[in-house]
Amino acid sequence: MEPVTTISGRVTVLDRADVDTDQIIPKQFLKRIERTGFGEFLFYDWIRSGEIALEPNPILAAGRNFGCGSSREHAVWAIRQFGFAAVVAPSFSDIFSSNATKNGLLPVALPDEDVHALMQSGEATIDLAAQTVRFAGRVASFDIDTEVKRRLLEGLDDIAITLTHAADIDIFERRATHPSPSTAGL
Amino acid sequence: MAKTLFDKIWDAHLVRDDLIYIDLHLVHEVTSPQAFDGLRLTGRRVRRPGRTIATADHNVPTDGTPRASLIADPLSRVQVETLERNCAEFGIPVYSLGSDRRGIVHVIGPELGLTQPGLTIVCGDSHTSTHGAFGALAFGIGTSEVEHVLATQTLVQRRPKTMRILYDGALGFGVTAKDLILATIGRLGTAGCTGYVVEYAGAPIEAMSMENRMTVCNMTIEGGGRAGMVAPDDTTFAYLTGREAAPAGSEWEDALGYWRALPTEDGATFDREERIDASVLSPMVTWGTTPGMVAGVGEAVPDPAGLDSPADRDAAERALAYMGLRPGTPFTQISLDRVFIGSCTNSRIEDLRAAARIVDGRRVAPTVRAMVVPGSVAVKTQAEAEGLDRIFASAGFEWRDAGCSMCLGMNPDTLSPQERCASTSNRNFEGRQGAGGRTHLVSPEMAAAAAIEGRFVDIREWS
């Protein structure tokens, strides 16, 4: 994964709450078996019907509970491949947030009024190391899990890190005593 | 210190800081192909194929197509065949088309006895919360995490916050588990439980069957909660007894001892507690494009002008425009084109029995196309042994093969633009059941009665 440090540029506005992953990438595009090729189908139904127009800028600003619903990581791939590097919203669904950071898409949660001011501002600079968003002469701070931040800043791969702890997993498996089923031989 | 059910499971699965062990990984065709590709690219193997199981559910036609190679839609065919090939390559048991163990992933896990108390269970599907009904910690993950679990049998997770929703009273006549969870989401909001693992507790939950508890836990994600759980009890153990993957003999006794020690202890604390009186709830109908846009069937479509926040007003106005509804219209005057009984929320045998009781001896309204889609081949077989298929068919319902079907429109079962559907599924998002389709979420009983009348009825007053 490419490291994520600073994201700077114009802001695309999608001032809607509860934007669900079915809207972000409708189901007919989930049949692909590749990780690429989703960007052109981002918000397919809303764009095709003329409800919204989206400019491919570095930053997308949206309403609360962004990315709710289905766990489809295709939603994150579509946003990333369309060109966005960060989404700023008052809140995100848990699964979307975690999918985003595993693909170098930065979810930035700011209070409602900051998100609205950002929507007006047109441009912003997000500094992950400093955990700040600068726009229209303001500086807003955001929270992010320290470990998630470290992995983003250094562009680290979760699986590679976990595999360095393989010995711990071996020990856990040897010691675990709780009952659990096998799927083999059913 | 007194511990919650969640605390006990979490603590028993910590490999090291922020790394939890996964006991059971359920895999399906839509969210796994890129994960298997990732393994191939890096030369990694599946660490524990014997803790992994796969099925084809999202994409499969429900018309009796017997093999993946015969799926008409070329993209769906490739996806199901890719699942079969990946599972063969990595040694994972797979129940695809043609298997009598196939079904919706959240139906077959419990059915086979794989879903057990105290386990950690994940799947690349947000409705994995269903399995929490057994007192397991179960949640949906994305494809990167699917790859992570395949490669390491663990997941990087921060300890979530805990929340208990305590229900008082008893559900009234005609009010179901589906109504209880819809009312809960309506009360707390679609992001009301974000960041929390939710334990459902209280007399109405204890009185529920396992299948009803699954319905409740299933929709936890629609309230933003990643996992929902119910304490295991005698109802849980009775359900598990004799199931294929459940322990037997002395292992059963050992497991029972472990499971009985899992429930939340007196004095344990949650980060948040909510209380809801179940006795005042009524059958629910959604009117908008999120599951939180919901009201009692005796009410009318709300007026967005009455909402306080501009964001809520804006969302409600857009939802009503999409749904083609006018404020003030009583729900019982809304007529329907389609009825769908199925999905991981409501496609188990008890759901089908409840719907069959309503339609027995009646006819589907001539203006309605209605379908019943059992959650698994086993549910279908059981229903046919009980004669439920004949009850549905003679009433004019289509009796289909198992799959996710019209819950998400990834297979041929979809709504046409502007078709209005009473659906027992879990999401009424725009276009969820087909572009332009209008979904109203209801219980199986409410859906069945709506099919007969061609409009919503209050099943408490309907005869």
Task: Give the model confidence (pLDDT) of B239-259 as tens digits.
Answer: 999 999 999 999 999 999 999
Among the partner-chain residues B76, B143, B151, the one whose CB lies closest to the CB of A159 is B151
Query: Quick check: A185 pLDDT over 90?
Result: no
CA distances from A48 to A68, B26, B232, B294 (A): 22, 35, 48, 28
**What is the number of alpha carbons within 13 Å of residue B66 lying toward its C-beta?**
0
SS3 B330: strand
Q: Rounded to whole angstroms, how far apart are CA atoms B31 and B41?
A: 17
Burial class for B131, CB neighbours closer than 10 Å (0-12, 13-18, 19+): buried
Residue among B205, B201, B215, B132 nearest B171 (CA): B205
Whether the complex's predicted ipTM is more than 0.90 is answered with yes
Which pLDDT belongs to residue B101? 97
Cross-chain Cβ contact A178/B258 below 8 Å: yes
Task: Give the model confidence (pLDDT) of B285-317 as tens digits.
Answer: 999 999 999 999 999 999 999 999 888 999 999
Confidence of residue A186 (pLDDT cuts 50, 70, 90): confident
- H helices of chain A, in order, are 21-24, 44-48, 74-82, 94-101, 112-121, 146-154, 158-163, 166-175
Query: Quick check: B197 pLDDT over 90?
Result: yes
State whether the Cα torsion B266-B270-B272-B278 is positive or negative: negative
How many angstroms away from the CA of A4 is the closest CA of chain B? 18
> For residues B342 and B370, is the Cβ–Cβ distance under 8 A?
no
B-contacting residues in A 17-36 (Cβ below 8 Å): 17-18, 20, 22-23, 26-28, 30-35
Which pLDDT belongs to residue B397? 98
Residue among A117, A152, A116 nearest A131 (CA): A152
> Strand B24-28 vs strand A138-141: parallel, antiparallel, or unpaired?
unpaired
Among the partner-chain residues B125, B140, B191, the one whose CB lies closest to the CB of A64 is B191
CB atoms within 10 A of CB B241: 12
Residue among B346, A44, A8, B57 nearest B68 (CA): B57
SS3 B95: strand
Residue among B276, B264, B272 nearest B160 (CA): B272
DSSP assignment, residue A92? B
CA angle B58, B60, B66 (to 5 degrees): 150
- DSSP run (H or E) holding B251: helix B250-260
Task: Give the nearest chain B residue to A46 (CA atoms).
Answer: B430
Which pLDDT belongs to residue B113? 98
Q: Rounded to whole angstroms, how far apart are CA atoms B345 and B214?
A: 7
Cross-chain Cβ contact A182/B50 below 8 Å: yes
Q: Per DSSP, what are the bridge partners of residue B421?
A: B338, B439
Q: What average pLDDT does chain A have?
A: 97
Residues of A in contact with B226 (CB under 8 A): 94-95
Q: Per DSSP, what are the bridge partners of residue A134?
A: A125, A139
Mean pLDDT in residue range B13-30 = 97
Q: Rounded to whole angstroms, how far apart are CA atoms A122 and B412?
A: 43
Confidence of residue B58 (pLDDT cuts 50, 70, 90): very high
Which pLDDT belongs to residue A150? 97
> Tokens 């059958």 appear where?
B283
What are the residues whose beta carbons fall under 8 Å from the beta carbon of B175, sequence distance 6 or more?
B278, B281, B282, B283, B460
Q: Rounded to whole angstroms, how far apart are CA atoms A118 and A167?
A: 47
Which pLDDT belongs to residue B121? 98
Query: Quick check: A131 pLDDT over 90?
Result: yes
Residue among A157, A27, A132 nearest B58 (CA): A27
Instruction: Kindly state whether A91 is in contact with chain B, defined as any CB-CB distance less than 8 angstroms.
Output: yes
Q: Which two tokens stand for residue B58?
A: 């999202």
Task: Give the model confidence (pLDDT) of B91-105 as tens digits.
Answer: 999 999 999 999 999
Angle between helices A94-101 and A74-82 (to 10 degrees): 50
Model pTM greater than 0.90? yes
A119 φ, ψ (degrees, to nearest 5): -60, -35
End-to-end CA distance of chain A: 39
Mean pLDDT in residue range A159-178 = 97
Task: Give the model confidence (pLDDT) of B344-395 as tens digits.
Answer: 999 999 999 999 999 999 999 999 999 999 999 999 999 999 999 999 999 9
> Tokens 């846009």 appear where?
B293
Q: How many CB pairs under 8 A join A and B?
A: 214
> Tokens 């930065």 appear where?
A106
> For residues B124 and B32, is the Cβ–Cβ distance under 8 A?
yes
Task: Give the model confidence (pLDDT) of A34-91 as tens digits.
Answer: 999 999 999 999 999 999 999 999 999 999 999 999 999 999 999 999 999 999 999 9
Task: Give the model confidence (pLDDT) of A2-39 as tens digits.
Answer: 899 999 999 999 999 999 999 999 999 999 999 999 99
> For residues B144 and A103, is the Cβ–Cβ distance under 8 A?
yes
Q: What average pLDDT does chain B have?
A: 97
How many angstroms away from the CA of B305 is the closest CA of chain A? 17
> For residues B164 and B199, is the Cβ–Cβ distance under 8 A?
yes
Mean pLDDT in residue range B271-281 = 98
> For residues A66 and A87, is the Cβ–Cβ distance under 8 A?
yes
Task: Give the nearest chain A residue to B247 (CA atoms).
Answer: A181
Query: Quick check: A1 pLDDT over 90?
Result: no
Cross-chain Cβ contact B16/A16 below 8 Å: no
